[in-house]
Amino acid sequence: MGIFDRLRKTGRDITIEQLKQEPYEQKYFEECRLIWKTYVPRAGQSEVLQGELLREIEKLREEAQGNGNRNWDGDFSCFCDFIRETLCSQPIYGAQEKIQIELIMRFLKDCGEYSERFSSGKIPDDEVDIERIAYVRDNLYDRIADAVGKMQAEHPEPILYEKKPGIRR
């Protein structure tokens, strides 16, 4: 039985539509600021897991908000999968937190890949769903950044990260 089944059986279903509508205020802002200042390099990947996770979610936010996902490519899809898989494998998050991470990261990836299909002409202008191109509100990105901040609070020591070859973003 998967985590989604367990959550449904407890009667606490949550959808991405609900998460999109909920305002969110970060609880681990100071931890995120510490990660950013300490572990995120000016360019390229971090050598620390907490730094790389935060760098990647901020790259996703920047691409959606600043570019409308027009530059979406495999690196961004890889970021979505990496963040989702890494955070959901951590024992510090409860079932509901993992469901939220899963929903958010799958949704952000879907938006980016939809934008990529539109940009490449696979979706005609007259058929595009503008709401699916890029999610630009902060609340979902802040939830994921907060999950990274919580990881930092629970594990203040840096977790070494092996850089992925071929990532150019």
Render pLDDT for 132-168 as a digit per residue (tens, 0 to 9).
999 999 999 999 999 999 999 999 999 999 999 999 9
Instruction: Note the pLDDT of residue 13.
Output: 82
Instruction: Note the pLDDT of residue 11.
Output: 45
Instruction: Note the pLDDT of residue 166.
Output: 92
Instruction: Note the pLDDT of residue 12.
Output: 62
Q: Considering the entire predicted model, what is its pTM?
A: 0.91
DSSP per residue, the chain: --HHHHHHHTT----HHHHHHS----S-HHHHHHHHHHH--SSS--SBHHHHHHHHHHHHHHHHHHHTTTT--HHHHHHHHHHHHHHHT-TTS-HHHHHHHHHHHHHHHHHHHHHHHHHTTSS-GGG--GGGT----SHHHHHHHHHHHHHHHH--SPPB-PPPTT---
Render pLDDT for 2-36 as a digit per residue (tens, 0 to 9).
444 444 444 468 899 999 999 999 999 999 999 99
Render pLDDT for 81-136 as a digit per residue (tens, 0 to 9).
999 999 999 999 999 999 999 999 999 999 999 999 999 999 999 999 998 999 99
Render pLDDT for 38-87 as a digit per residue (tens, 0 to 9).
999 999 999 999 999 999 999 999 999 999 999 999 999 999 999 999 99
